[in-house]
Amino acid sequence: MAGQLKEVRNRIKSVQSTQQITKAMKMVSAAKLRRAQDAILQMRPYASKLQEMLSNIVSNAEGGSSISLAEVRPVKKALLIVITSDRGLCGAYNANIQKRALSTIQERYADLASTGNLTIWAIGKKGAEFFQKRGYTVDTRFRDTFLQLSFGAVQTCAQAAVQAYQQKEFDAVEIVYSEFKNAASQVFVAEQFLPIPKNEPVKGKSQKADFIFEPEKDQLIAELMPKILNTQLFKAVLDGNASEHGARMTAMDKASENANELLKSLKISYNRARQAAITTELTEIVSGAAALQG
């Protein structure tokens, strides 16, 4: 009986220690989430408007070397930029991104993957490890971009993707990431990066936009396109960063609640075992006293 009580006491101490860690991690993630949320909410309208403007320009352009990044060609080689986190303990965040990436591969690039013509650029250690274990062609040179979380690092990755597309190393580039909604909700998306998508024509409405270009259109587009693509990828990384902290905060909150439930159960078990031990001792004392009187 004494051994059972000691075992339960040790389990209670262990759960309490774990609960302290989960509560601390929740507080840290909550603080980081506020900063990450502010960053993406400020960035999103700017990036969305730039992307809309770029799509409008591409939709109304009439060819030319400056629109090479919007050139649609048969997809013989493809690139998937997968944005995950570097650390775990954030619930199903990384697993859902990996699942979204796999479904994208199955839907659009299954043949390319089987012939080795699909390349994955992993931003984040978890994604790199996941796809390497499954035998995909993984380039890890941008793996630490998510950890650095700087525009310069993201720009390097975006420019490398643009250059590879222009040199026809890849015919299509997609980004797989988590779009931040709130602390408890993320949307896992696969977004076309290259070729630059055009706006779909609306039935009954003209898509012709009236743009005034200064300086010349070709010069302006050639300068503008890479910068907008840099911003698009940076927005995806900021979305992933906010989503990670939101997922971790939610996961640690649930873990703390589960620890509370477990502690209640263990304390009930401990009290029952202690009561049984006391009852046994009293019974032995009463029995001994009765035997002496007899």
Per-residue pLDDT tens digits for 132-162: 999 999 999 999 888 778 899 999 999 999 9
Cβ atoms of 242 and 180 closer than 8 Å:
yes
Per-residue pLDDT tens digits for 154-193: 999 999 999 999 999 999 999 999 999 988 889 999 999 9
In the residue annotation, 90 being an active-site residue is answered as yes
What confidence score (pLDDT) does residue 61 get?
62
Question: Nearest-CA neighbor of 190 among 92, 79, 49?
Answer: 79
The DSSP code sequence of the chain is -HHHHHHHHHHHHHHHHHHHHHHHHHHHHHHHHHHHHHHHHHHHHHHHHHHHHHHHHHHH----GGGGGG-----SSEEEEEE--S---STTHHHHHHHHHHHHHHHH-HHHHHTT-EEEEEESHHHHHHHHHTT-EEE-TTTTHHHH--HHHHHHHHHHHHHHHHTTS-SEEEEEEEEEEETTEEEEEEEEEESPPPPPPPTTS--------SS-HHHHHHHHHHHHHHHHHHHHHHHHHHHHHHHHHHHHHHHHHHHHHHHHHHHHHHHHHHHHHHHHHHHHHHHHHHHHH-
Global pTM reads 0.85
Spell out the domains of the chain, with CATH numbers in brackets: 22-252 (3.40.1380.10)
Catalytic residue (one of 90, 105, 238, 255): 90
Tell me the percentage of the chain whose pLDDT exceeds 90.
63
Cβ atoms of 230 and 154 closer than 8 Å:
yes
Report, as ranges of residue numbers, the positions in the chain whose pLDDT lies below 70.
1-2, 60-66, 200-211, 294
